Amino acid sequence: MSGIEKRFPGVHALKNVSFNLRAGEVHALMGENGAGKSTLMKILSGVYLRDSGVVRLDGKEVTFAEPKKAQDAGVGIIHQELSLMNDLTAAQNIFIGREPRFGFGRLDEKALNRQASEIFASMNLDLDPRVCVGELSIARQQMVEIAKALSYRSRVLIMDEPTAALNDTEIDELFVIIRRLQKENVGIIYISHKMDELKRISDRVTIMRDGENVDTVDAKATPVSDIIAMMVGRALIDSDVEIPDTSEGTPALEVRGLTRGREIVDVGFTVQKGEILGFAGLMGAGRTEVARAIFGADPRDAGEVLVHGKSVDIQSPADAVASGIGYLSEDRKHFGLAIGMDIRANVAMASLENYTSKMGKLDEAAIGLVTREYIDKLDIRTPSDQQEVRLLSGGNQQKVVIAKWLLRDCEILIFDEPTRGIDIGAKAEIYKLLNRLAAQGRAIIVISSELPEILRVSHRIAVMSEGRLTGILPGGANTTQEAIMHLATKRETVSESLGATA
Amino acid sequence: MTSTDISNQPSLLRRLISGDAQQKLLAFASLVLLLIGFSIASPNFMQVSNIIAILQASSVNGVLAIAATLVIITGGIDLSVGTMMTFCAVIAGVVLTYAGLPLPFGILAAILAGAFCGLCSGTLVAKLKIPPFIATLGMMLILKGLSLVISGTRPIYFNETAGFDLISRGSIIGYFFPSLPIPNGVLILFLVAISVSYILSRTVLGRYCFALGSNEESVRLSGVNTDRWKMAIYALSGAIVGIGGLLIASRLNSAQPALGLGYELEAIAAVVIGGTSLSGGRGTILGTLIGALIMAVLINGLRILSVAQEWQTVVTGVIIILAVYADMMRRRKSG
Amino acid sequence: MTSTDISNQPSLLRRLISGDAQQKLLAFASLVLLLIGFSIASPNFMQVSNIIAILQASSVNGVLAIAATLVIITGGIDLSVGTMMTFCAVIAGVVLTYAGLPLPFGILAAILAGAFCGLCSGTLVAKLKIPPFIATLGMMLILKGLSLVISGTRPIYFNETAGFDLISRGSIIGYFFPSLPIPNGVLILFLVAISVSYILSRTVLGRYCFALGSNEESVRLSGVNTDRWKMAIYALSGAIVGIGGLLIASRLNSAQPALGLGYELEAIAAVVIGGTSLSGGRGTILGTLIGALIMAVLINGLRILSVAQEWQTVVTGVIIILAVYADMMRRRKSG
Amino acid sequence: DDKKMYIPLISKGFQHQFWQAVKSGADQAAEEFGVDITFEGPDNETMVDRQIDMLSAGLAKKPAAIGFAALDSQAAIPLLKQAKKAGIPIVAFDSGVESDIPVSTATTNNVAAAALAADKMSELIGGKGKVAIVAHDQTSRTGIDRRDGFMNRMKEKHPGIEVVSVQYGAGDQLQSTEISKSILTAYPDLKGMFGTNEGSAIGVVNGARESARKGLIIIGYDSGAAQKKAIMDGLMAGAITQNPVGIGYETVKAAVMSARGEKVELLIDTGFYYYDAKTINDPKIAAVLYD
Ligand SMILES: Nc1ncnc2c1ncn2[C@@H]1O[C@H](COP(=O)(O)OP(=O)(O)OP(=O)(O)O)[C@@H](O)[C@H]1O
Ligand SMILES: Nc1ncnc2c1ncn2[C@@H]1O[C@H](COP(=O)(O)OP(=O)(O)OP(=O)(O)O)[C@@H](O)[C@H]1O
Ligand SMILES: [Mg+2]
Ligand SMILES: [Mg+2]
């Protein structure tokens, strides 16, 4: 690809971008949120038409007018935003458009499920191909998406943040698959904001910034700090966690005996004022479920929630917010944003009563003002505060959700995968922000599937496995990833005493 | 299933109990409840002849509802089924009575006319991207007008075509089992239901029907020619409406050109009572069939009880809401 | 605004031109096109009295369409506007004619009755999670039946209430500007349109209306009591329907209990022609108003041209499709 | 025989005042003869199959006799045959059934009634000019009979009068109002209008009033409070009235008699009248008008 140009209304997304991929290489594409990575890949895979520039495949110039053409030419893509059919099963999703048939349009459902099972087996993924995709957790949906892309046997495979929703184990599996594809001479374009993956998997790295490419370098030979500097345009200094002394503190949130079916089994813990409690665990461990149950988003069978020592009856998210609890969902598209509305509306969504006159009139000017403030503070890349959220890049959408909860200013904040799809520079900003919020005396829960992140931000670390709380570890340098993984794979109940001291 | 291990077993079991099987069983239960209620309330209700009358009353609405189900599963809506049915009946009348061609031509003409109308709606929706509501509202008006134009605003009678009235009124089953004089119209309803059920669950067309309703963009990105399939689905739906047109024409032994308005809402109601979601992606023909039967039983039962007509309307409204509410409750409980 | 750089400036300009302003301008253009076409075709069309007749013809449908717009923006649909309008008219009749109370009570009663019916629909939708299609279909039947029951299946005349017919037929504007005898009904339509427009764009209720239609779950998870807001929106919509009921009752100087069925589709058609999306989250009152006017002009123009009624229906269908198609094309072009 | 005789009446409509008047006549007879009746009809006169469903539910109740106002007489024949086989006598009302099954038919001669309206119209506008019809239905028997009765009489007897427009308002007052206004706009020199049922007639009056058209000769059909008031106020020249109460009464009476095995007349002409402000209080006419 060379000299690629793409403009959207209000955005010059790609400026004279060039990019090349060799057969059998893993080529990482890095850049801040909104740098234009996804857009470039959508042009390559036929979703968007380029305004100008040349795309060559095997030396021949090509233009993919539609995704089908790109697929036929051997270019496959895993999109950043999940694009599955929720009402169909995993197998049906994978083979949509290529179903095995008997003739007369009759489907061979057995073959379909068998082939899907084979793909899952090859990915070491334990998944029933007959399950409706809508019932799967977001991580599993991501795995289905990957399986779908693999099933095309493409020569060029684009992975746009495939690991954003994945846990370490699944990431390991994915890397095994990538290595195998590499041996089969498939060229892989790999987009991720996780720097450690860069070193582990990629051969070369292309760095983009503000719709231009900065450079293409060798992944192994270039220090990470250099790559970050190229992405961000400056050097980042990251600090270690400083664990505040909360031993004297007052508990802001206490959860006792939280239970719901098999998903949550007798979970109890306490978060102090000014403390960040990290939640670690494998995919499906039930962390999200716990957060949703506390927040009143799902019903619970048993359990008590105390805020500042007083028992509160939370039946709905409205109750939770009224009690000073905020929850940032892990699935921004479905639960976090009204993507058809503008940034202003989304940022103000949880705090509208603060911007409403007695007669119900909205103070648009004030909303605009704070929105622009957060656009600045979080560095949201957008032409204006009235841009529709669906037109923002994935990472910038995430920042909008964060802004929503920051504006709401809750005493207790639950962040579920707050940095999903967020670039390294912004991540550092968010960590700082979390620390600042804690220092202001807020109680914070951070659910994250990235162990380095958990270790980086948490004052204490709660670990869950199969719906149970299996242990609570101290934060900081004393805890290792191995210690967390040990608890995350533990299968029996945590002892009462552990729960009590928590 | 190599990838299915122990952790999935409870979920499999749950699926079996709480899944489709139970759903239909329970929708059926509310139908049975109605039947029992009316039987107790009136001795005249549970007669073979009345049950057959109920079945026959549901045959036209049932067929229309099945046609609407297809479109609704794709995430669309079809407001034109009622007047399209009339249009097909009129076409059959033109072919049989005005042109005097033999019966099979009339049957073919009605079904083809329906398929063609469906194709038109489908083209408007798929190619011109007109929202289904508007495309089919437009078709509803166009077909209403054309039915009047073509028929010369007169009913067309099928007196010249021997056997036309047997399409719906005759009874093949009754011929073989004289104690079970189920009219052919009902037989046709069930045959249509079984065929469409098969198409939905076992063929590519059915698969794309659900896929389109679930996430059209993703189907398109998977390289499927979504426009063509959508048009095919609308055409199939239209052909089924054509069968509905034959049924009503045969039942009335005439094509009534002014009839049909208002039938669309009844058909859609049957679909929704049957548990099909108006947002697309989900739905079953069995559910629709039960939905149509619930409505027919309800109206017939209230009549048999001699409930005053204005109260019949009120009670029908209440029971439609209750039936769907019961369905919601159950589904929320079972997952 | 650090993040807004030089490259955004053309976009701001373009937003101004290609944004909402242009959209409405263009929907308006297709209305103007119709007006010009009919003026050329018939010298009788472009008379002040006929334009006023068109405005008056659109007043009831316009008010109902505005009510439906609110519900549609939340992602719902309202099939009950027609019979609810009738119900409110009957309630006004009971209060004014049967109970003999003075005029303001009747007005209040109709609006409250509408708000209450809307609240019922809203409760069914928000609390019992019944799909809006079914909840309002049920309400449509219930209210149809109740109108007949309450009125004793008789029209209720307002002969005893002096001034009742002036609500719609009088002309305050004409009193001050005798050359502009615009009936109050039209004035009320515009007042309702302006108020609801204001509510939608400037108040919390409006904001939640769009937000619910855009992504209800995300609103709920933002700690908003979505159920309560939804009920409020349905109640407001019902109150507007109540105004519609007063308009029609005043125009007919009677509450006709049998009227109303079929008005819902016309109202929804006006909404969709006006560019509001049936999937929720988008819509404008100005668009709805233009949609209602397009329909009124169309039907009036065809009648003035003495087009045969069956062809009127066909042409109406075609033009509805074309109007929406033009709108689609334009929007796709402008991004 | 302690059980009351049961007779369902399947009508063409239910909510309109005309049908409510028929119902009141039927109720009156039911009380007089000590029988139970039900009265049902579809929402509008196009719903032929709905009426068939009503008829078959009526049959399931094993009635003594049935009163039936057919929307389409052919469509109902199989069920009527079934009734005949079961020995249930059928009495047709409002319009006839083209078959020898009904033991009696209680009806108005709509063609003749509309022709009378045409004669009166001609008389009132002086034998020449343009007139228009706002009809209630394009395909139903009564709609066709009244339209054609009026038009044919004009053609045959009043060649100076031109029927320039026929439009259909489904008997809906508001729709008929809009139609009338459009017709008045399209034909500024229109002399008269004929509304073929209550809703259509009121619509014409409303339309003329809203268009502020003076001097238009309006002839209506049926009665009802609004129509009577329009005639009294001089907005409407006059109207044709049928005898709906009589239709209902005679239907039930004939049904009872034939169920008892008594002989009934094959055709009961319930009659029609033209009435205007002068004759409206004539006892013979006042008796058949309804509010
Ligand atoms: N359809 C669209 N219309 C308008 N602007 C768009 C559209 N798609 C993308 N953009 C804009 O183009 C720019 C590049 O977006 P892109 O999605 O390529 O970023 P990205 O590098 O993938 O970021 P992230 O890491 O956050 O996913 C962003 O500013 C985004 O807002
Ligand atoms: N093997 C499985 N099969 C089907 N569903 C599963 C499976 N594992 C987990 N789930 C679903 O996921 C839910 C728990 O996932 P949840 O998202 O709460 O966990 P989490 O710890 O937040 O993990 P994640 O990293 O995915 O966010 C379970 O309740 C279940 O519904
Ligand atoms: Mg991206
Ligand atoms: Mg989670």
Contact assessment for residue D275 and residue D239, using Cβ atoms and an 8 Å cutoff: yes
Both structure tokens of C252: 């007919």
**Is the pLDDT score of A301 beyond 70?**
yes
Q: Which of A318, A341, A375 sits opposite C225 (nearest CB)?
A: A318
Q: What proportion of chain A, given as a percentage, has pLDDT over 70?
A: 95
User: Torsion-angle region of residue C20: left (phi > 0), alpha (psi -120 to 50) or beta?
Assistant: alpha
Which residue minimizes the CA distance to atom 6 of ligand 1? Answer: A391
The pocket around ligand 2, CB under 6 angstroms, is made up of A 136-137, 139, 167, 263, 281, 283-289, 330, 449; B 7, 11
Residue A379 or residue D237, greater confidence: D237
Nearest to B317 by CA among C125, C141, C120: C141
Cα end-to-end distance, chain A, whole Å: 55
A106 neighbourhood in chain B, CB within 8 Å = 202-204
Q: A72 and B223 in contact by Cβ < 8 A?
A: yes
Per-residue confidence at C25, pLDDT binned at 50, 70, 90? low
Q: In CATH, what number does C46-334 get?
A: 1.10.3470
Lowest mean pLDDT among B265-274, D56-65, D93-102: D93-102
Average pLDDT of span C55-62: 93
Average pLDDT of span A159-166: 85
Say how many C-beta atoms besides its own lie within 10 A of residue D70's C-beta: 27
d(CA B323, CA B328): 9
The pocket around ligand 1, CB under 6 angstroms, is made up of A 8-9, 11, 13, 31, 33-39, 80, 381, 391-396, 421, 423
Q: A10 and C11 in contact by Cβ < 8 A?
A: yes
Residue C332's pLDDT is 67
Q: What is the DSSP string of A333-369?
A: IIII--TTSBHHHHHHGGGGGGGB-TTSBB-HHHHHH
d(CA C212, CA C190): 26
Residue A235's pLDDT is 62
* Pocket perturbation via mutation, ligand 1, pick of A5, A7, A8 by most ligand atoms within 8 A of CB: A8
Cα end-to-end distance, chain B, whole Å: 24
Residues D262-275: pLDDT tens digits? 999 999 999 999 99
Average pLDDT of span D129-140: 91
Bridge partners, B107 (sequence order): none
Contact assessment for residue C313 and residue B144, using Cβ atoms and an 8 Å cutoff: yes
Find the closest chain C residue to D224 by CA distance: C155
Q: What proportion of chain A, given as a percentage, has pLDDT over 90?
A: 33
d(CA A424, CA A228): 8
Residue A348's pLDDT is 92
**Is the pLDDT score of B5 beyond 60?**
no
Per-residue confidence at D46, pLDDT binned at 50, 70, 90? confident
**Is the pLDDT score of C186 beyond 90?**
yes
Both structure tokens of A293: 């149950």
Contact assessment for residue B143 and residue B86, using Cβ atoms and an 8 Å cutoff: yes
What angle in degrees, to the nearest 10, is found between the helix axes of B81-93 and B132-151? 30
Residue B160's pLDDT is 85
Residue A58's pLDDT is 86
Residues B88-145: pLDDT tens digits? 999 999 999 999 999 999 999 999 999 999 999 999 999 999 989 889 999 999 999 9
Please state the ipTM of this predicted complex. 0.85
Instruction: List b or e across C84-113, with b for residues whose CB sees 16 or more CB atoms inside 10 angstroms.
Output: bbbbbbbbbbbbbbeeeeebeebbebbbbb
d(CA C89, CA C257): 8
Q: B321 and C134 in contact by Cβ < 8 A?
A: yes
Residues C254-284: pLDDT tens digits? 999 988 888 998 999 999 888 888 888 889 9
Q: C204 and A356 in contact by Cβ < 8 A?
A: yes
Instruction: List b or e across B148-169, with b for residues whose CB sees 16 or more CB atoms inside 10 angstroms.
Output: bbbbebbbbbbeebeebbebbb
Nearest to D290 by CA among D241, D251, D250, D220: D241
Note which residues in 154-173 of chain D have CB less than 8 A from chain C. Answer: 164-165, 167-168, 172-173
CA of A463 to the centre of ligand 4 (A): 13
Average pLDDT of span A28-49: 89
Strands A460-465 and A276-281: parallel
In chain B, domain spans:
46-334
Ordered alpha helix ranges (H), A412-450: 424-439
Please compute, for residue B207, the number of CA atoms within 13 A of its CA located in the half-sphere on the CB side.
23
**Is the pLDDT score of D235 beyond 80?**
yes
Distance of CA B144 to the CA centre of its chain: 19
The verdict on A71 touching B (C-beta cutoff 8 Å) is: yes
Selected residue of C128, C309, C316, C324 to mutate for chain B interface (largest B Cβ count, 10 A)? C324
Q: Which of B3, B10, B211 sits opposite A85 (nearest CB)?
A: B211
d(CA A290, CA A302): 12
* Interface contacts (B, D; CB < 8 Å): 84
Looking at the domain covering A4-232, what would its CATH class be?
alpha beta
C133 neighbourhood in chain B, CB within 8 Å = 268, 272, 278
Highest mean pLDDT among B8-22, B82-96, C30-44, D169-183: B82-96
**Is the pLDDT score of A10 beyond 80?**
no
CA of A34 to the centre of ligand 1 (A): 5
- Report phi then psi at A59, rounded to 5: 85, -15
Contact assessment for residue B235 and residue B119, using Cβ atoms and an 8 Å cutoff: yes
What angle in degrees, to the nearest 10, is found between the helix axes of C226-252 and C204-220? 140
Strands A264-272 and A251-260: antiparallel
CA of A471 to the centre of ligand 2 (A): 19
Residue positions counted in chain D: 291
Selected residue of C217, C222, C279 to mutate for chain A interface (largest A Cβ count, 10 A)? C222
Residue B331's pLDDT is 67
- Sequence-ordered list of residues with C-beta below 8 angstroms from that of A242, at least 6 positions apart, any chain: A435
3-state secondary structure of C180: coil
Residue C26's pLDDT is 62
Average pLDDT of span A422-443: 86
Both structure tokens of C183: 């009936």
The verdict on A299 touching B (C-beta cutoff 8 Å) is: no
Whole-model pTM: value is 0.87
Both structure tokens of C234: 């349905």
Both structure tokens of A417: 């995968």
Residues B272-306: pLDDT tens digits? 888 888 888 989 999 999 999 999 999 899 988 88
Residues A108-144: pLDDT tens digits? 989 999 999 999 998 888 899 999 998 888 888 888 9
Lowest mean pLDDT among B214-228, B277-291, C12-26, C121-135: C12-26
Nearest to D198 by CA among C252, A272, C220: C252
| Mean pLDDT taken over chain B | 88
Contact assessment for residue A446 and residue A279, using Cβ atoms and an 8 Å cutoff: yes
Residue B26's pLDDT is 63
d(CA D214, CA D143): 27
In chain A, domain spans:
4-232, 250-324+410-501, 337-409
Query: Domain A250-324+410-501 falls in which CATH fold?
Result: Rossmann fold (3.40.50)
Q: What is the DSSP string of B97-150?
A: IIS---HHHHHHHHHHHHHHHHHHHHHHHHTS---HHHHHHHHHHHHHHHHHHH
| Mean pLDDT taken over chain D | 91
Residue A241's pLDDT is 63
Touching subunits of D (3+ CB pairs, under 8 Å) are B, C
Nearest to A395 by CA among A26, A37, A48, A44: A37
Q: What proportion of chain C, given as a percentage, has pLDDT over 70?
A: 90
Cα end-to-end distance, chain C, whole Å: 24
Per-residue confidence at C11, pLDDT binned at 50, 70, 90? very low
Residue positions counted in chain A: 502
d(CA B119, CA B116): 5
* Pocket perturbation via mutation, ligand 2, pick of B3, B4, B8 by most ligand atoms within 8 A of CB: B8
